[in-house]
Amino acid sequence: MARTRYATDRGLTSRMVVTMFLLGLVYVAFVTAFFAIAPSWGLVALVVAVVFLLAQYFFSDRLTMFAMHGRVVSPQEAPELHGVIDRICAMSDAPKPRVAVADTDVPNAFATGRNQKKAVVCVTTGLLRRLDPVELEGVLAHEMSHIAHRDVAVMTIASFLGVCAGLITRFGLEWGLWGGFGRRDGDQNTGLVLLMVVLVSAVAYAISFLLTRALSRYRELSADRAAALLTGRPSALASALTKVSGELARIPSRDLRAAEPFNAFFFAPAFAKGFSISSLFSTHPPLERRLAQLQRISDQLGRGV
């Protein structure tokens, strides 16, 4: 992995390590409990989950681009966008990622890919229409910091336990519905086993969910900080954050609901109107906290700290 001039963040690194360690412990406990309850279901479901993880890890960039209808564009197709990416690469000494555009009015951007060689930075046409070049530079520097910090790959791996728990629960319920409940003499025992499977899976999913969301919120603050320090223009990033958040409030709820599953990747979260969520479950820190951090960085840069 090539080194870059993005500011290192030991807090992010330590949180990624701790999160992966805790998820590993939960995963071991989950697998042990599940095989003790229903060993005949566990092996097949676990194999399916592992295959899903490998596909998600190795093809995450293609899957995300496909789901968002993103398209890789050449410098001839999007010269201004490539120009901004080239400037950030020159400032950060980072390899240039593939550049893509998603044709949607939802103003946002995201980075995906398991490493710098497979990285893609994608912006929506809605974002390109709304931001000026300086604001766009701040957003793209934010997204490219995710690649430099390797947190895209970590988040992909960290989501495995939740995926595994969900698949095993679904597999167990469907098997019980079509196999176990069809035999009267096994109804009671099958029902108890399924209940235990659901409870164990729900606990594993809940813990995985909370740990990955906490890591996701911190990595967004880390990316804001790294982008502001790299460009030396925290005010431009703050302006982009304010503008994007305000514009998202004007987007039709139908479009926001379609974008919500990708919130963990986005520069700013897309929530349908009237939707409220506790900060404990959010993929991003509150806008006020992000702006306050950028203001502190601006003050520090102004004092030459």
The binding site for Zn(2+) comprises 142, 146, 220
3-class secondary-structure state, position 284: coil
Distance CA 225, CA 220 (A): 9
Residue whose C-alpha is closest to residue 120's, from 77, 68, 80, 79: 68
Q: How many residues does the chain have?
A: 305
How would you class 188 by CB atoms within 10 Å of its CB: exposed for 0-12, middle for 13-18, buried for 19 or more? exposed
* Inter-residue contact 97 to 111 (CB < 8 Å): yes
For residue 138, the 8-state DSSP code is: H
**Strand 109-112 to 98-102 pairing:** unpaired
Tokens of 9: 């963040």
Q: Which residues carry out catalysis?
A: 143
Tell which residue, 281, 64, 18, 26, has the closest CA to residue 160: 26
